[in-house]
Amino acid sequence: MLPLFVAIPLGIGFLLPLIEEFRERTKLFAVTVLLETGLLLALSLVKFGEKSIYRMGGWPPPIGINYVLDGLSSLVLVVISGIAFVTTLFAMTYMSEYENLGKFYGLFSLMLAGMYGVALTGDVFNMYVYLEVAAISSYALVGFNRGPEELEASFKYLIMGAVGSVFILLGIAMLYGSVGSLNIADISVRVSEVADQSFILLSTALFIVGFGLKAAFIPFHSWLPDAHSSAPTPISAMLSGVLIKVLGVYALSRLLFNGLNLPNLAPQILTWIGAGSMFIGGVIALGQEDLKRLLAYSSISQMGYITLGLGMGGIFISQGKPAIATLALIGGVFHLVNHATYKSLLFLFSGGVERIFGTRDLSKIGGITRISPVSGATGTIGTLSISGLPPFNGFWSKLVIVIAAIWGGLYPIAGIVLFTSAITLAYYLKVQRDLFMGDVVGEIVEKGKISPGIYVPLLILALCCIGLGLLYLPEFRGVVLKPAALALQEGSEYTKLVLGL
Amino acid sequence: MLTYLLAFILFAIGLYSVINKRNLIKIIMGIIIMEHAVNAFLILIGYRVSGEAPILEKGMTVTEFVNSAMDPLPQALVITSIVIGLGVVALMVALAVRLYQHYGTFDITEIRKLRG
Amino acid sequence: MSGMSPIVKTVTRWVSPFILAFGIYVALTGHLTPGGGFPGGVIIAGCFILLMLAHGKEKVYGIFNLKSASVTDSLASLSFLCMGLLGYVFGGGFLNNFIQSGFPGKVFGLLSGGNMPIINIAIGFKVGGSLFVVFAYLALFRAIEED
Amino acid sequence: MVLIQIFLVFTIIAALIAVEAPSALSSIISLGAVGFGLSISFLWLGAPDIAITQVVVEIITLVILIRATIGKGVTEIRGNESKPLLIGSLILFGLGSAFFANYLSAFPDFGKSAVDVFTETPSQFYLEFGLEKAGGPNVVNDILLDFRAYDTLGEATVLFAAILGAITLLNKKVFFGKGGEK
C-alpha cells in the first residue's frame, strides 16, 4: 500500500502534460488532481498510527531502499494530504483563468510525490533525490506567473535551493565515506562504532546548513519572502504550509535524531537557530506592508518555534530527562501541525483579498468583513489562532513549548518564546485592525468574484484551526502526538523496526 | 589525503563564484562547478589502490572481483547526481534567458535595483 | 535560421546516423558494458540537437517535432512507472526485478538482466525526448525574440 | 595516484579561469575544460560509466549555456566585485581547509574504499551478488536499475520535472492570469 503514496502522484504528474498536448483547456486537470489528493488523504488517514516498513524491490534494508511508517511519518503524511486537498479545492476556482494548467497541475502532483518520498523514505540518498524532485517542481511553480518579479524571486529561490542541495550531497558523501552505508537505521548503528567522530560532526554541520537553506532558518532566509509573495496563491500556501516543513525540519530531525544519534552539539545549535529565526522573523514581520510578505516573515518566525521545540527535545534527551524531552518534542510536532493549518488558511485568504481589492498593500485596503463576511470571519480565526489566543490551536502548542522550556530549566528560551508571541500578537492585531474591522477602504475590483470555491476551503481550514485545539487534551495527545515524539526520541525503536535487530 | 583536499578546493571555488559574482551566468557556473566537485569527491571515496572498474568480465571469479573492484555504490550515486545537475542547469538557463528578456541584463544587482 | 554552411550540413547528415546508432547501443547494453539509459539518452538527444543546429528547425521537425518529443518523454516515464507497478502487482516489491526472478536470461547475453534492459530503453527514450524538447524551446525562444 | 592529482590540479586551474575570465565565451569553454578534465580523471579512477555520462552531459550543458548567452550578444561580462567579500571568502576558505586537513586522519585514507575499511557493507553485497541476483555483470547499473531502482525512478522524475518547469517558463503563450504578463 505504501508505494502508492508516491506512485499515484508520479503517474498523474507524468500523465497531465501528456493530456495537455492534445486538449488545452479542460477542467480535467483540476478534477483529476482533486480526486488524487482526496484519495491520498483517505489513504493517509487509513494508514495513520501504523508502524511498518516497506522494502523496495523486495531487498532487505541495508541493501535496498525501504519506507518507514512510524508515528512521525504517518502524522506528516496526513498533514501533507490534508493541506494538498484543501489547496487543490481552492486552486480549482482561483486558477481557472490561467493558461498552461496541465503543466501547473502536473508540477503540483510531482511536488506532492517528492514530499511523500521524503516523508516516507528510510534512506539518506533517496531522501536527497526526492527532496530534489519536490524542490525543482516548486522552483518552476514559484515562477509560474512569469512576470519580472516572479522570475527574479524564482531565480533567487533556485540558486539558494541548489546551493543547499549541494551542501546536503556533500554531507551525504562525508557520511558515506566515514560510515559506509546509506540506510538511516544502518547509519545509526555504524555511527556509534566510529572512533573519531570529527567527520560525523562535519557532515552534521553540512546537513544543518543544507536543510537550513531549504527550511529558511535565519541566516539563509532571504529567498523565502520573495518566493512566497510572488508565487501563485495555492502554491505559496503549499510552500509555507508544508514544503518548508517536510523538506527542512522533518528531514533534518529524521537525520539528526534517528540517523546520527544526536551528535553532541546539534541540539544546542538547533535550539539557538530556532530562537534566532523566531525572534528576528517576528521583528521584521512587524514592519511589513504587503500582506503576503508579512505572512512569509511570520512563517520564518513560526518555523523557529518548531525548530526550537525539536532542538529543546534533543537537549533534554542528551541531558537524560526523557519526560520533559517528550513534552518538548510534542510541542514541536503539535506546532508543525497547527502552523500548517493556519498558515495555509492565511495565504489562501490573502489570495481572496488580492482577488477582491486587486492589491495586497495593507495600507490601501480595509473592511473585508463587510464585503464577504465568510472570508472575513475565517481570516479573523486564522489571525487569532496564529497569534496564540486561548480557544484556538496556536495557543495550545505555544503553551506546550513554554511549559517544556520552563520545566526543563531553559528560562531564557521561555522568555524569548513569550516575547515573540507578544510580537506576533502585535503585528496580527495590526492586520486585524485595518483589514477586517475598519470601514471599506480602497476600490473593490471584483465584488461578486468570491464564489463558494474560494471560501469553502477557508471554512474547512478554519474548522481545523478550532478543532485541532482538542489535541492538547491528554487522551488525544497520547494517540496522535506522543507516538510522533517517541519516534524521534527512541532511536533504538527505529532501528529495531527497520533492521529487526 | 591531498587528493580529498583538491576536491575540497574545487568546491570552494564554486562556492566563491556563487557568492561573489554578480553575473547570472557566473552564478550558474559556480553551481555547476560545485556539483562537479561533490561528484569528484564521491568517486574519490570509492577509489581502491589496485582497483579496476566494477564490471565483471567473463574470465574473472567472483571472489577475485570483490577484492579488486572499485566501490560501485558511490558511482551509482554520481550518475544520479550528474543528471540532477543537468536538470538544475536546464532550469537555471531557462530562468536566466527569461530574466534577460525582461531586464535586458545578466547583472543581478541591476535586476534587484530595477525591481524596486 | 536555415542552418549553417553546406559543408556542415553534409558532414552532419553523414555523421548523425552513427551518433544515433552509438546512442542506442550505449542505452541498450547498459547492464553489460559501461553506459546505460542516461548516457545513451543524452547521446540520442545530442544527435537530434546537432541536426537541428546544422539544418535549422523545419527539417528536424519533420522527424522529431516538439509534440512527439514531449509525448515520448511522458510515455517513457509512464512506462518506467508501469514496470515498477508490475513488480508491485506480481508480488515482491514496488520495483522488483520480476522477470529476472521469473526466467533469468543467458548470463552475459543481451537479454540477461530481467527487466533492466527494458528500464534502460525507457530511460533512454525519456532523456532523449526531454533534452531535445528543452533545447528546441531554448532555440525557439531565442528565434522569436530576434525577429 | 599522482596522475589523479595532476588531473585535479588541471581542473582547479580551469575552474579558476572559468570564474575569473572576463568574456562569456572563454569562461564557458574553460567550464567545459573542468568537466572534461574531470571525466578523464574518472576514467583513471576506474569509473567508465561516470566518464561517459560526464562527457556527454558536459557537451549538452555547454551547448545550452552557449546557446543562452551568445545568442544575447553578451560577449563582455564585467562586474566589479566588492573587495571585502573576496577577503571574507578567502578567510572562510582558509579556515575550512585547515579544519579539513587537520581532521582528515579520521577519514579512511585515499586508497581504501568502504569495502576494505568496514565490515559487511552494502557495496560488498552488490559486488558479490550483483551478477547472480540482478543478472547484469555491470554492477553499477545493477544498483541503478535493480537494487536501488527507486532512486532511478526519482532521478527520472527530477529530469522530467526540471524539463517541464523549463518549458513552462519558456512557453510563449501570453495569458491574462493575475499578476502574469499581460
pLDDT at B116: 46
Confidence bin at D161 (pLDDT 50/70/90): very high
pLDDT at A434: 73
Tell whether C17 is covered by a domain.
yes
**pLDDT tens-digit readout, D84-132:** 777 777 777 777 777 767 766 777 777 777 777 787 888 888 888 888 8
Question: Residues C31, C36, C40, CA angle at the centre, nearest 5°?
Answer: 145
Is 60 exceeded by the pLDDT of residue D174? no
Tell whether C117 is covered by a domain.
yes
**Nearest CB to A143; choose among D100, D164, D169:** D169
Q: Which CATH number fits domain B2-115: 3.30.70.3450, 3.40.50.800, 1.10.287.3510, 3.30.420.10?
A: 1.10.287.3510
Which of 26-85 (D) contact B at CB < 8 A? 27-28, 31, 34-35, 38, 41-42, 45-50, 53-54, 57, 60-61, 64-65, 68-69, 72, 74, 77, 79, 81-82, 85
How confident is the prediction along chain A (501 residues), in pLDDT tens digits per residue?
888 899 999 999 999 999 888 887 778 888 989 999 999 999 999 988 888 888 888 888 888 888 999 889 999 999 999 999 999 999 988 888 788 888 999 999 999 999 999 999 999 999 999 999 999 999 999 988 888 888 889 999 999 999 999 999 999 998 998 888 899 998 988 888 887 788 888 889 899 999 999 998 888 888 898 898 888 999 999 998 899 998 899 999 999 998 888 888 889 999 999 999 999 999 998 888 888 889 999 999 999 999 999 999 999 988 888 888 999 999 999 999 999 998 999 999 888 888 777 777 777 777 777 777 788 888 888 888 888 888 888 888 888 899 999 988 888 989 999 999 999 888 888 888 777 766 666 666 665 556 777 888 888 888 888 888 887 788 888 888 888 888 888 888 888 888 876
Find which of A198-202, B93-97, D178-182 is predicted with most confidence, using mean pLDDT.
B93-97
| Contact residues on chain A for D125, CB-CB shorter than 8 A | 62-63
**What three-state secondary structure class fits C138?**
helix
| C77: contact with A, CB 8 A cutoff | yes
Nearest CA in chain B to D25: B25
Q: Distance, in angstroms, between B115 CA and closest chain D CA?
A: 14
Tell whether C1 is covered by a domain.
no
Report the 3 state secondary structure along A233-279: HHHHHHHHHHHHHHHHHHHHHHHHHHHCCCCCCHHHHHHHHHHHHHH
Q: Are D163 and A140 in contact (CB under 8 A)?
A: no
| Contact residues on chain C for D160, CB-CB shorter than 8 A | 73-74, 77, 126, 130
Q: Which of C78, C134, C147 to mutate to test the interface with D (most CBs of D within 10 A)?
A: C134
Tell whether C12 is covered by a domain.
yes
CB-CB under 8 Å, D48 with C34: yes
Q: Supply the range of the domain harboring residue C90.
A: 6-146
**Nearest CB to C38; choose among B83, B97, B101:** B83
Q: Are A151 and A142 in contact (CB under 8 A)?
A: no
- Tell if the pTM clears 0.90, that is, is over it: yes
pLDDT at D179: 40
Q: Rounded distance, CA D116 to CA D120, Å?
A: 10
| C134: contact with A, CB 8 A cutoff | no
Structure-derived torsion over alpha carbons of residues D176, D178, D179, D180, reported in degrees to the nearest 10: -30
Polymer length of chain D: 182
**pLDDT tens-digit readout, B15-50:** 888 888 888 888 999 999 999 999 999 999 888 887
Tell whether C11 is covered by a domain.
yes
What DSSP assignment string belongs to D60-129? HHHHHHHHHHHTTT--B------HHHHHHHHHHHHHHHHHHHHHGGGS--TT--HHHHSSS-HHHHHHHH
Domain boundaries, chain D: 1-78, 112-174
Tell whether C31 is covered by a domain.
yes
Q: Are A36 and A9 in contact (CB under 8 A)?
A: yes
**Nearest CB to A133; choose among D149, D154, D178:** D154
Quote the cell numbers at residue D121: 557493507
